[in-house]
Structure 1
Amino acid sequence: MNPDAAISYTLGELAERVEARLVGDANQRVGALSTLTDAGPGDLSFLANRAYLKHLAGTHAGAVLLHPEHAASCPCAYLELDNPYLGYAKLSRLFDPLANRTSRGVHPAASVAADAIIGQAVEIGANSVIESGVEIADGCVIGPGCFIGADSVIGRDSRLHANVTLYHGVTIGERAILHSGCVIGGDGFGFAHDGRQWEKIAQLGGVTLGDDVEVGSCSSIDRGALGDTRIGNSVKIDSQVQIAHNVQIGDGCALAGCVGIAGSTQVGRNCLLGGGVGLSGHLTLTDGVQITGMSLVTNSILEPGVYSSGTGSMPNGLWRRNAVRFKQLDDIAKRLGRLERDIRES
């Protein structure tokens, strides 16, 4: 526990927040979250993965979030609930120092256009630039070094960490979190070739992000060529993700690191894309599709379910032999077809 921490809660308050059954003193206070192995008497810990059950009996935590089946092994007070990881997620925000910090106002080194509309309790960090026509709603935090392009709109209680770039005409919903280095509204990759060189296509659309969207560091969401690139509500985007122009992503999707989505692809609601997944352009993924890591999708997926492509890792020698076999598959299939036909005719 941090001795300087000003944040603390009673176990009764925390149990009420997550609708947990408390076994222990409701007035006992905790001031931090910690792992089972690192926690002290003033800390709250959690057990959400059976792999860490071995650490429960020896923990020094003041209290533990856990599933009822593990209660008998807990040496301290505990908050019992069916989904301890979800409970941990909800309580983690109570202990976040950024979430509990009061606004520091507009830094004197920030540049804010005279006609920009700035709401109440907005913080704008040093060296940030807010261009003409921008609207920033109440409770937003714009970190140092951010650039907010002309006519962009940011919904209430959103947070832009340091050095986020919003090009012109970008709309961000409420309670968004944009991490350092992400770029929203850059030009889509649009060019026409005349036989000798490339002619750039002006990207005339924008980008719209829904409410409760989070975008990881160094991710890019390109503006539309004509209409907007649209990201739905509660979409979670990891770091180093590329979303091309005119992509549409439905509510509740989650994209892990290094996902790449080519232009004009439509992803339905509640889809999960694992790390390194690539989606070709002009595809449609229906609701409830899960793509496992490092898969390449080149055709639309119109039925919900789990999809994979590629091969798992294996010793290099075996992989090289299999690579040779891959090249022979077409010939083998043709020979097998001829053999089956000869058997039928014989």
Structure 2
Amino acid sequence: MNQDARTLTLSEIAERLGARLEGDGERRVSGLATLRDAAPDQVAFLANRAYLKDLTGTRAAAVLLAPDHAQSCPVARLEMDNPYLGYAELSRLFDPLTDRIPAGIHPTAVVADDVCLGADVVIGPQTVIESGVELGDEVVIGPGCVVGADSRIGPGSRLHANVTLCHGVVIGARAILHSGCVIGGDGFGFAHDGARWHKIAQLGGVVLGDDVEVGSCSSIDRGALGDTLIGDDVKIDSQVQIAHNVQIGDHTALAGCVGIAGSTRVGKHCMLGGGVGLSGHLTIADGVQVTGMSLVTNSILEAGVYSSGTGAMDNAQWRRNAVRFKQLDDIARRLARLEKAARRD
């Protein structure tokens, strides 16, 4: 970063992104905005053809775009084959959270005597760090967090305000945990005697790999016996529920309000849309994409895109179709009988 606070030249940006620059490389910019809203000291980007209409009128200092759209750009341009990936990198250059918070322990924090602290650790106000915890180098613990006994947090990880890690949780390097998420709470385990429920102690833990991000108010339950396992580079949106002993493979992404029941295994490079529900004890293969609001009750053993449910429609039409849904089994049986009779004839 240049010595001028949060400003970069276009040449510096091009170098960081590996982009091809056409324009004044010495021009300074101080932020990132949309094509429509960008000021002359900001960079805009074009990654979706739907916004081509805003390109010719942009006031941005430069636009990050694909070479196919370069000739329509009225200002300096940063050309990349994947401008959306470039936008991701560019956004981090101007993110105020990339500024390093001064290392140290706030005087209101409660830190057990045997906690092992790496170099340049930050522990915010009203935070509690229990006995046996290990914090790697440059870990940032925001205000109001609780890190339970014998937990470990890898180097470069960040907990935003009011995150709770229960006992025995392992967090990898460079993780980001957003406010209100709970890692390592008890799984939903009860035995019924015919009259009442009896709690089953949850004796496992939770292990998050490197580069994992967990959204606000999401819950990842500890295992009943073994651990709940979240692989490297898994991205979990807000208000997601992951039950005990679930395993999620590397590079998988879960959008908001996904719910995964206990002991289900999700493969690598999967994408689960918002509101997807997975029943328990299932296996989901690598490379599976499940579209939003789908309910999955059987294992999926081949990569591909899967959907369930019906789209919204006029209520009167939905009511008619709902009646037909109930008739499908009878219709299928009658059809089978007719086909069997036709074969005999």
What's the TM-score, normalizing by structure 1?
Answer: 0.97
1:254 correspondence with 2:234? no
Q: Which residue of structure 1 aligns with residue 210 of structure 2? A: 211
1:128 correspondence with 2:123? no
Q: Which residue of structure 1 aligns with residue 39 of structure 2? A: 40
1:190 correspondence with 2:192? no
Question: What's the offset of the Cα at 1:101?
Answer: 3.0
Q: Which residue of structure 2 aligns with residue 163 of structure 1? A: 162
Q: Which residue of structure 2 aligns with residue 54 of structure 1? A: 53
Q: Take 2:103 and 2:54, find their aligned partners in 1: how far apart are those partners?
A: 41
Q: Which residue of structure 1 aligns with residue 145 of structure 2? A: 146
Deviates more, 1:201-210 or 1:6-15: 6-15
Amino acid of the structure 1 residue aligned with 2:14? A
Count of residues in Structure 1 that have an aligned counterpart in Structure 2 = 342
Q: Which residue of structure 2 aligns with residue 241 of structure 1? A: 240
Q: Which residue of structure 2 aligns with residue 339 of structure 1? A: 338
Matches within 5 A, 1:215-226: 215-226=214-225
Q: Which residue of structure 1 aligns with residue 112 of structure 2? A: 113
Q: Take 1:32 and 1:120, find their aligned partners in 2: how far apart are those partners?
A: 31
Q: Take 2:204 and 2:336, find their aligned partners in 1: how far apart are those partners?
A: 51
Amino acid of the structure 2 residue aligned with 1:305? G
Q: Which residue of structure 1 aligns with residue 173 of structure 2? A: 174
Amino acid of the structure 2 residue aligned with 1:241? V
Measured on the aligned residues, the alpha-carbon RMSD in Å equals 1.0
Q: Take 1:102 and 1:78, find their aligned partners in 2: how far apart are those partners?
A: 33
Q: Take 2:304 and 2:75, find their aligned partners in 1: how far apart are those partners?
A: 42
Q: Which residue of structure 2 aligns with residue 26 of structure 1? A: 25
Q: For 2:97, what is the secondary structure of its paired residue?
A: coil
Q: Which residue of structure 2 aligns with residue 319 of structure 1? A: 318
Q: Take 2:319 and 2:80, find their aligned partners in 1: how far apart are those partners?
A: 50
Q: For 1:98, what is the secondary structure of its paired residue?
A: helix
Moved over 4 A (4+): none
Gaps of at least 5 residues in structure 1 are none
- CA deviations 1:153-185 (Å, max 9, x no partner) are 000111100000000000000000000000000
- CA deviations 1:60-99 (Å, max 9, x no partner) are 1101100111111111111001110100001111111111
Q: Which residue of structure 2 aligns with residue 228 of structure 1? A: 227
Question: What's the offset of the Cα at 1:104?
Answer: 4.5
Amino acid of the structure 2 residue aligned with 1:124? I
Q: For 2:98, what is the secondary structure of its paired residue?
A: coil
Q: Which residue of structure 2 aligns with residue 97 of structure 1? A: 96
1:67 correspondence with 2:66? yes
Q: Take 2:102 and 2:203, find their aligned partners in 1: how far apart are those partners?
A: 35
Q: Take 2:56 and 2:100, find their aligned partners in 1: how far apart are those partners?
A: 35
Q: For 1:208, what is the secondary structure of its paired residue?
A: strand
Percent of aligned pairs with the same amino acid = 74
Q: Which residue of structure 2 aligns with residue 277 of structure 1? A: 276
Deviates more, 1:335-344 or 1:116-125: 335-344
